[in-house]
Chain A
Amino acid sequence: MRSLTVIPQIPIGDGFEAIVSFLERYFGWLFEIVNVIIETSVDSFEWVLLLLPPLAVIAIVAVLAWKLGSKWLAVGAFIGLSLIYSMDLWESAVDTLALVLVSSLIALMIGIPIGILAAKKQRFGDNIVRPVLDFMQTMPAFVYLIPAIILFSRGAVAGSIATIVFAMPPVVRLTNLGIRQVPSDVMEAARSLGSTGKQLLLKIQLPIALPTIFAGINQTVMLALSMVVIASMIGAGGLGSDVRSALSRVDIGPGFEAGLAVVILAMLIDRITQSLSEKNGNG
């Protein structure tokens, strides 16, 4: 009788642990490959950015901001980046930027196709993709760090993996949403003219969904950036580790400087991706 009233303990934690160690034992080679790819990408990105003198990079970014956005965005970019340089945080900022951009790029490469699939196969999208995304977004970000360390050991790659998982949901959701929002009469018209499934996707759905997809890209990049401080806990370098060491030493000045550098990067990335989306939205 007693056993009926007491809910048995299900060892979920143990189960997850077993899964992770199973993955580590039998798919170690796969993680090794991923490790090499991400590490190489991040390193080469850093190498390029550090190869050029900081002032040259600042100038290039400012010109880019001018072309994509406005004159004022260019001025802001120039002042902001110069400030980071003057605070002697240039190398950290480049580390962070490399990590954020590589992670975002991978998140987009995985997320956009999943979003398209979720829109095309609506039951798959609603019954599988959505709950998984909810899980990814609401699970405290710190939790991702633990399996990341086990599978990839401490360092930039583990940080990047945790960042990818954490940052991917918005672009999946908004790609899905953007495609589903294409008006049904537009779809009907395209079908009635004899479009194939591929033509529908490439010539009608994706172009019309593009502004929404860009909003998702913007969100994903911003989330990736917000992950940098957390990722520094498992050895990802950059501005995050500056913030963390300032925290452990209760050193208010350097802590604020590093934080400010994160804010500047965030605003710059946000404005630049946004103007990119506006450009595409009107085209």
Chain B
Amino acid sequence: MSTLEVRNLYKIFGSSPKTALEMSQAGKAKDEILKETGNTIGVNDASFEVQEGETFVVMGLSGSGKSTLIRCLNRLQDPTYGEVLLDGKNIVELSEEELRHVRRKKMSMVFQNFGLFPHRTVRKNVDYGLEIQGVPEEERKEKAYEALELVGLKGYEEMTPAELSGGMQQRVGLARALVLDPDILLMDEAFSALDPLIKKNMQDELLALQEKVQKTIVFITHDLDEALKLGDRIAVMYEGRIVQIGTPEEILTHPANDYVRNFVENVDRSKVLTAESIMKKPLAVVDPKEGPSAALRKMKNEEISSIYVVDHKRRVQGVVDIADVKKLADKGEKSLKSILRKDFDTTSPDTTIVDLLPTAGTTNYPIAVVDESNKLLGLIVRVSVISGISRDGENNA
């Protein structure tokens, strides 16, 4: 497995990239440079790091430089300046032969328009990468069949690409990349050319596949929903620059600038935001040893009608209702044990809001957010579920 790191990467198109690079590094704007030198800046000072096994999504609209950026990673385009470090080795400085080695063993790419070889069968498309390495026919065939089975194309091995649908063609593209068992998978708008439904299927399958193969993936897309769904982290690109890098939630809840804010405005937040991001700190919690009067006082202070009871390790014991507590206090009882109710709902911190909705509709108490050891992390009241979905939820809540 490998890590990938990009440092201060520039790609400039035109006749005098050096001049344009200096101007850009001196802080001149893209338009200004284009006007003065006729050079276009494709990628402007991009730096990021991709962790082992991570799915790193680069998102931006067309012309934002994202496809150029990914092509600089395996040098389908040569960067003008900067470093691409694969396990600490700078790919930009590799010789032709070393670069071929990287392409054959370390990094494979999946393309938007598939890039299948029309004159070869599906199986021969997949085993091409092995064939050019001189792998014997039998072994090649075996590996190609395995890769095709992995992407769900068993039985289609001897057909030609033209006989397959778009989604199936892209599976061939994926198998062709996977058969080389690379550490890093580069996916350039891999699902963008597919119908919405097939696209969704492919996304789901990629996620499932990723569970199995655990590759480091750099995924390029212009589709925010896709980025949020697939990405462990997302880099947002605008005019050649990376304007923000963060987890899907960070991008949604703390957009770095107006561009990102506008971009994320229309997203279906309920599918991305999790319980953790809308829960509140459970201030009003009592220890079972505390008596009913202490509980009563806390509820009054917080203006709530029920309160959670936890043990000394903050593990949830139950919930008490204000009416029960009052009765108990009147009787002069010291322990809350007799009135502890167990009919509350719990959830884990990474549950998405959309999955919380049914619970939020029926529950009598705030939903308790707990970790694996049943430790109380926070509470979610019904109103914050609703405001979490709405656009500026974090401002009102």
Contact = CB atoms under 8 A, between A and B. Distances in A.
Interface of A: 183, 185-186, 188-196, 199, 203-204, 207-208, 210, 283
Nearest to A189: B115
A193 B103 contact: yes
B115 to A, nearest CB: 3
A19 to B, nearest CB: 39
Contact of B118 (A190, A193, A208): A208
A186 B116 contact: yes
B133 A194 contact: yes
B100 A194 contact: yes
Contacts, number: 65
B117 A193 contact: no
B102 to A, nearest CB: 8
Which of A183, A189, A204 has its CB near the most chain B CB atoms (within 10 A)?
A189
Interface magnitude class on chain B: 20 to 34
Nearest 5 CB-CB pairings of A with B: A189-B115, A194-B104, A194-B103, A185-B115, A193-B129
Given A199-B132, A207-B119, A192 B114 contact: no
A185 B132 contact: no
Contacts of B128: 190, 193, 203
Contacts of B180: 193
29 contacts: A183-B113, A185-B111, A188-B111, A188-B115, A189-B109, A189-B111, A189-B115, A189-B116, A189-B176, A190-B115, A190-B128, A191-B103, A192-B74, A192-B103, A192-B108, A192-B109, A193-B103, A193-B108, A193-B128, A193-B129, A194-B100, A194-B102, A194-B103, A194-B132, A195-B100, A203-B131, A203-B132, A208-B117, A208-B119
Contacts of B113: 183, 185
A195 B109 contact: no
Contact of B132 (A183, A189, A196, A210): A196
Interface of B: 74, 76, 100-104, 108-109, 111-119, 128-129, 131-133, 173, 176, 180, 186
Contacts of A203: 128, 131-132
Contacts of A283: 119
Contacts of A189: 109, 111, 114-117, 173, 176
Contacts of B117: 186, 189-190, 204, 208
B133 A186 contact: no
A183 B129 CA distance: 18
Contacts of B100: 194-196
A60 B117 CA distance: 37
Contacts of A195: 100, 132
Contacts of B176: 189, 193
A191 B132 contact: no
B260 to A, nearest CB: 30
A110 to B, nearest CB: 26
B101 A194 contact: yes
Contacts of A196: 100, 132
Contacts of A188: 76, 109, 111, 115
A108 B104 CA distance: 35
A191 B101 CA distance: 12
Task: Give the interface centre of B114, B128, B173 by most chain A CB atoms within 10 Å.
Answer: B128
Nearest to A197: B96
A210 B132 CA distance: 20
B247 to A, nearest CB: 29
A193 B76 contact: no
Contacts of A210: 119
B129 A194 contact: yes
B68 to A, nearest CB: 13
A203 B173 CA distance: 17
B264 to A, nearest CB: 31
Contacts of A183: 113, 115
A200 B8 CA distance: 32
Nearest to A195: B132
Contacts of A186: 115-118
Given A191-B76, A192-B108, A207-B119, A185 B114 contact: yes
Contacts of A193: 103-104, 108, 128-129, 132, 176, 180
Given A188-B109, A189-B109, 14 more contacts: A183-B113, A185-B111, A185-B115, A186-B116, A189-B111, A189-B176, A190-B117, A192-B76, A193-B128, A194-B133, A196-B100, A196-B132, A204-B117, A208-B119
Nearest to A211: B119
Nearest to B97: A196
